[in-house]
Structure 1
């Protein structure tokens, strides 16, 4: 467990959980958005549901060891989806042991009866960016997490719009290729199937790209190869950018957003992703009311999920 020595009032202190297919992170976050205590465990994503819940419990137990724990009045959870905030359940595509898992009830019990708010990870990132990041001051925005999967969330009329179940804005499972490959969600041709990190890497490998001597076959390695001019790596990122642009433009046409904020590990590729994304948007965002749509990198980084979960807990 790491503790931030920052001092100051504890008004608004909440516990936050960021649950994904790779890691389960937890933190105590104050009302200014400062992370005062943090904990993390790997996600045992291929194990049964109780084992995954055990990792969540370990994170919460470590937070509870902090002298600040008693001041935390609520718990916010941002989880890989789909989630059902109304029922308090989660069914992350990349955590097969959790299907309709009663996460809110279990966390409520594990934290001594504290109130628990659940949102999807894309909505959590959106809340963080609207509170402290690149969407701050924007009344209508789409925020995307492009990583192992692709998630998203909406700000409409100046407020984060999670929808009835906490999944509104989940751009990753918007269909952008009617004859595309099957997606893990059960659909076909989804943005996630084309633009997520594992699928960027998979496409590059299938088309002849080969890792360097270290054997790194991740999307980050493909991005490095693209920066060095490898045409197959460049093409894989251009295809991902095209899928993202199609999804962003469709969302903008539907609800009139004026900014799209892109975060997550794949966004770390920088202009390897953003340059073709902006070019592709000129092809898809053609109507007058979406033509000036801005696309920018997220600012809250790897803490977006925790900060957004905290924001959801006090909204």
Structure 2
């Protein structure tokens, strides 16, 4: 039987699991709701329930390690997590807890959700074949990860590539991270909707989401178009700064806001042309993500395989 990685993807709404093989295929998938408002033990119990269901699959005997992708921040060297949307987990020793629960002494590798998505897109998706890439999730927040010289670069703590907290507006709104004018506070779905409402956009019915703003923009609503243009400008400034620092070849963007398609990508390409002006970044390619909701699990497996040097994986 082909060797596998047991992958777990921990987010604010669900905890998903799968057994992932060398071809990126997912078997024995399962998930539980994230009890984000409950205590630390109950959240851990949801994780262990997912692991127990995976362990009951006949393919478990082929599992070589466990890869965990988690909302962050993470502290990979300590195996700890502090997801913003799971208040009970602050410096929670997740890796030690999972190792204690498992009886078979499997290695456990922790990765942030941004780097996990990046590992997935580089292995099986839109960044495949590129040596240097930035992959981003633009949703209720803005996160990301880096591939440098052909390999995932999570950084010393596991948080490298977190482009959402690059400041692109020195006098901008305060960000929950403690800084000001971050990409996330301008370009997240929540921020797009907030700006549109502030500027007089009128939602139809009760839907005041970024998706509803995107629908209005697609119909030519000038306020909705301006909200997306502002978000695209912030994203372009952050992308150009990152590309200038590390010389990227491609930028891949996924997440709920990216589902708006050309409503986001058209002004983003235009703004990137204005910001990425130096000769060594002008060639930068922009692509939509390909793996969707599978990216967290596929990426957790890929990151673990790279970390442990599993043969024939990447």
Name the TM tier (shorter chain).
Answer: over 0.9
Please name the residue that 1:137 is paired with.
Answer: 129
Give the match's secondary structure for 2:287: strand
Count residues in correspondence: 305
Between stretches 49-58 and 87-96, larger displacement belongs to: 49-58
- Shifted more, 42-51 versus 295-304: the winner is 42-51
Classify the secondary structure of the residue corresponding to 2:169.
Answer: coil
Which position in structure 2 is the counterpart of 1:41?
A: 32
Relative distance call for 1:43 and 1:275 in structure 2 (3 A) is same
How far did 1:93 drift?
A: 1.9
Deviations 1:5-45 (A, max 9, x none): xxxxx423111111122222111111110011211222222
Q: 1:262 to 1:49 in 2, by over 3 A?
A: same
In the alignment, structure 1 residue 216 sits paired with structure 2 residue 204: no
Look up the match of 1:167: 159
5+ residue gaps, structure 2: 307-314
2:45 pairs, out of 32, 54, 57, with 54
Where does residue 24 of structure 1 map in the other structure? 15
Distance change (3 Å), C-alpha of 1:63 and 1:210:
farther
Q: 1:285 aligns with which of 273, 276, 285?
A: 276
Matching residue of 2:310: none
8 Å CA contact retained: 2:152, 2:303: no
* Regions of 4+ moved over 4 Å: none
CA distance in 2, matches of 1:175, 1:134: 27
The answer to whether structure 1 residue 312 and structure 2 residue 303 are counterparts is yes
Work out the CA distance in 1 between the residues paired with 2:58 and 2:3. Answer: 16
- SS for the counterpart of 2:83 is coil
**Map of 1:187 onto structure 2:** 179
| Structure 1: distance between partners of 2:195 and 2:301 | 36
- Counterpart in the other structure of 1:6: none
CA distance in 1, matches of 2:63, 2:38: 30
* 2:219 matches 1:249: no
Deviation by residue 1:45-82 (Cα, 9 ceiling, x = unmatched): 23332222222222222222322223222111111111
Q: 1:110 to 1:203 in 2, by over 3 A?
A: farther
| Aligned counterpart for 1:101 among listed residues 66, 88, 92 | 92
Task: Identify the match of residue 111 of structure 1 among 102, 115, 124.
Answer: 102
Q: Distance in 2 between matches of 1:203 and 1:44?
A: 30
CA distance in 1, matches of 2:66, 2:273: 41
Match of 1:126 among 118, 129, 134: 118
1:241, 1:45 → 2: CA distance? Answer: 31
3-state SS of the aligned residue for 1:68? helix
| Separation (CA, whole Å) in 1 of partners of 2:288 and 2:157 | 27
- What value does the CA root-mean-square deviation take over the aligned residues? 1.4
Residue 232 in 1 paired to residue 188 in 2?
no
Q: Residue in 2 aligned with 1:268?
A: 259
Q: Would the aligned equivalents of 2:167 and 2:183 in 1 still touch at CA under 8 Å? A: yes
C-alpha contact (below 8 Å) 1:12/1:314 kept by paired residues: no
Alignment-derived partner of residue 78 in structure 1: 69
SS of residue matched to 1:203: helix
Report what 1:5 is aligned to: none
Q: Pairwise mapping of residues 292-307 of structure 1 onto structure 2 (< 5 A)? A: 292-307=283-298
Deviation per residue, 1:104-152 (Å, 9 max, x gap): 1112222323211111111001111110111111111111111121111
Partner secondary structure for residue 58 of structure 2: coil
